[in-house]
A and B are shown apart, each in its own frame.
Chain A
């Protein structure tokens, strides 16, 4: 047979290659569009248009014309802004300190940031209630020093709200700034040193400007998370510190006014979108995943000149004074204190859980296990626990299955698709949770799915996908794709490669992603409030319901259990990670 007669096998058509590239991400894309994008758009539509389809701004008029509502809006912005500024300012030195460490000791210290980061907001807030209440530890100390006001308690108050919010958000700020700082080339500061820069000038003109994208990302994430926050102001604040999310909850659950809730959600949503748009213009969205910023971060000339001058002045001051040697000590001391501020308040729940009395007071009357027994034997708590575990496990699996395909496509597509895809996958992290919850409530109401476990799993999966994608992206970035090519040349099919190469080598990050997704679900209150209905409650929902009735030691027992669970998960995940990297 001559060569000319043999027809060459047709190369796979462009269409088929495109399909192979996009198919893995398709389930995740469809899932997010149906359960997240469409419902959120429906809220927008419902807020701006009446049932007949005519443009209708009456809901907003109602919002703006009532002074009460306007005040709530301003309070929300004020508290969110203050929390963002404080969290970034307090977190910056901590992130700097962690960034300067060797890989090993950083790994150890970051665990102490992860612990408060993943501890349920409810547990953290409950701990502050214990500390700041009339009989709490800090109130007792403060009154001995004569610092308490006429009420005799440190909370509820604006101070209580701010302390609770900053405590809740500081880990997020630190963990967002840290990757940017680690990405800064250490040689740059050596170069500046040789060029003659003093330490202050060196820091201010080289390190500081390069760390700003991380600072911006942290401020932004904290601000937006705060916009939709309700746990802290509801439990540690007075009615004067009411925030917009509390208004949403009461208009849905008490007033059953869905249109007004929609309008409120729109306000939150639009604020987030505006803030994010500005952020993307200035810094670039993908820097949220720890990638280098695509923008030139030179900033305006006058700002740099100011930093040069400031550096020069500070260097003169430092050179003259005896501060030189003590600076490292001051930084380490501050950081230890900050870690203490993050971790110690949470631990207050442990002694309270073992108290004998039914009154939560400090010091507790030790030692009794009655509150643990009560927690374990109560059918309500039992049911809530089982539901939380089951929903968490289902969420973890679903989110990782969807997120794995999504991340695969994300790492393989050409440049211009990366940004919109990434934006879609992390959007649930960016859109305040309460907006997602309201959207789902709309959607499920029309299918009669409210109160079902499936609804909960769907809602939690939406929230977990961003964490899964970001975690897996880190693993995929380190993965050597030539191994996949090698397996293909050796004759492995797509599923064969997945089974023998991809999954075993990515096992570490997949495990982390599963754990993250589980915690997101296990910890969630917002979706549970709106979607789980009255009967089928989850552990956080049950805590929320009983915390509002009375602060009992049972809650401390539950909190202790949760803190221990999170600790085990975090240390297990860190162990798996270091084992995987060896």
Chain B
């Protein structure tokens, strides 16, 4: 049995689909990320799971029981909001105690549970402060403590790190991972940041145009993207437009590139996906493709070159520090065919 399951869950606003009928299964205890650009339906899906938005079709099951229209407070979920939504007129302690109060927890248990929750996010010393007396990162911790203080089995997080700067963000990503492991609850995390999704998730549910594009582990999504969108949204990619002629021959402009037959894509217009880190810069005659270096970008640990191909296409390749590519050099590009994919255009 899945922890949480949607069957044909959908939301329409007038003539626009915020979410097309969607099936999604979430396993107990997993960290699932809803990833996608704005308007992809990820927040709508989360809000319907929370019960803050009523679906216009389909069903939602939590622990095998129908919860499609259950009141938010009775779904056994906790939620961290994008702007934290801490009650400004209550102290940290009262904020964290709110959910327990609503569940009529006795005062001794309440004190212990609040202390416990604050301890887990290392905020015990700030119990008597008001939210506006805290930094952004501290408010974030209080919001987390408030959402798990009453031990909900599902925790929803709506782009919770959006307002933090890069460094604090990376730190909080690790903190949230740690909390996930300690609490053992199911986390559903919304973000538009693919790097964040790759770092944190057990599985990623990639969304686009109001529907699910692909679901899989971070490795699956990176190595085996099912669509051009998936390939483009997660990681950097070179997408070479061309035509797949009789099985095994990919032609782009003048270049003929042999591809393994096993890729299972019908003949016709396709794109060839090659990740930049798989591409090696060689002498022109050794490459599958030839081009001219248009730009060299120094990134600290590596050098990235942008190669202009005949026609208007460009190709990104990574290059070790030992080579010293210069703009204008003619080079060849080579990669291991096993690491590339043929995708429908």
Contact = CB atoms under 8 A, between A and B. Distances in A.
Nearest to A197: B102
Given A187-B83, A187-B85, A191-B79, A196 B90 contact: no
Nearest to B101: A308
Which of B51, B73, B91 has the most C-beta atoms of chain A within 10 angstroms of its own C-beta? B73
- Chain A contact residues: over half helix, strand or loop, or mixed? helix
A196 B50 CA distance: 12
A196 B73 contact: yes
Contacts of B50: 190, 194
Nearest to A206: B87
A191 B88 contact: no
Contacts of A206: 87
B146 interface: yes
A6 interface: no
A193 interface: yes
B77 A298 contact: no
B37 interface: no
B106 interface: no
Contact of A193 (B71, B83, B88, B103): B71
Contact of A190 (B74, B78, B81, B91): B81
Which of A190, A196, A206 has the most C-beta atoms of chain B within 10 angstroms of its own C-beta? A196
B102 A191 contact: no
Given A195-B99, A195-B146, A196-B102, A190 B73 contact: no
A298 B101 contact: no
A196 B52 contact: no
Contacts of B91: 298
Interface in A267-321: 296-299, 304, 308
Contacts of B90: 298, 304
A253 interface: no
B83 A185 contact: yes
A8 B261 CA distance: 73
B89 interface: yes
B126 interface: no
B100 to A, nearest CB: 9
Contacts of A201: 102
Given A196-B74, A196-B102, A198-B73, A191 B89 contact: no
B52 A193 contact: yes
Nearest to B77: A194
A296 B74 CA distance: 31
A503 interface: no
Interface residues of B, number: 28
A190 B83 CA distance: 12
Contacts of A195: 73, 78, 98-99, 102, 146, 150
B89 A296 contact: yes
A297 B87 CA distance: 11
Contacts, number: 69
Interface in B36-66: 50-52
Contact of B85 (A185, A196, A205, A297): A185
A534 to B, nearest CB: 55
A188 B84 CA distance: 9
B113 to A, nearest CB: 13
Contact of B73 (A188, A197, A298): A197
Q: How big is chain A's contact interface, by range?
A: 20 to 34
A442 to B, nearest CB: 45
A188 B71 contact: no
B72 interface: yes
B130 interface: yes
Which of B72, B78, B83, B130 has the most C-beta atoms of chain A within 10 angstroms of its own C-beta? B72
Contacts of A185: 83, 85
Interface in A197-218: 197-198, 201, 205-206, 209-210
Contacts of B146: 195
A196 B99 contact: yes
Contacts of A210: 88-89
A197 B102 CA distance: 6
A192 interface: yes
Interface string A209-249: 11000000000000000000000000000000000000000
A296 B130 contact: yes
A191 B94 CA distance: 14
A188 B87 contact: yes
A185 B87 CA distance: 9
B155 to A, nearest CB: 11
A529 to B, nearest CB: 44
A187 B86 CA distance: 9
Nearest to A294: B132
A520 to B, nearest CB: 35
Contacts of B101: 308
Nearest to A312: B104
Interface in A140-194: 185, 187-188, 190-194
B103 A299 contact: no
Contacts of A190: 50, 52, 72, 81, 85
A194 B52 contact: yes
A196 B77 CA distance: 9
Nearest to A195: B99
Nearest to B80: A191
A193 B73 contact: yes
A402 B281 CA distance: 70
A193 B98 CA distance: 11
Contact of A209 (B71, B81, B89, B102): B89
A205 B83 CA distance: 20
Contact of B72 (A193, A296, A298): A193
Contacts of B51: 193-194
A209 B146 CA distance: 20
Nearest to B53: A190
A194 B78 contact: yes
A212 to B, nearest CB: 9
B209 to A, nearest CB: 26
Nearest to A199: B71
A192 B87 CA distance: 9
B73 to A, nearest CB: 3
A192 B94 CA distance: 12
Contacts of A197: 73, 98, 102
A298 B77 CA distance: 27
Given A201-B102, A296-B130, A194 B87 contact: no
A205 B146 CA distance: 16
A194 B88 contact: no
Contacts of B77: 194
Interface string B296-321: 00000000000000000000000000
A205 B78 CA distance: 19
A215 to B, nearest CB: 14
A448 B98 CA distance: 66
Nearest to A191: B85
Given A296-B130, A308-B101, A194 B72 contact: yes
B98 A187 contact: no
A404 to B, nearest CB: 32
Contacts of B102: 195-197, 201
B85 to A, nearest CB: 4
Interface of B: 50-52, 71-74, 77-79, 81-83, 85, 87-91, 94, 98-99, 101-103, 130, 146, 150
18 contacts: A185-B83, A187-B85, A188-B85, A188-B87, A190-B50, A190-B85, A191-B81, A193-B51, A193-B73, A194-B50, A196-B73, A196-B99, A196-B103, A296-B89, A296-B130, A297-B88, A304-B90, A304-B94
Chain A to chain B: the 4 pairs with minimum beta-carbon distance, closest first: A196-B73, A196-B102, A195-B99, A187-B85
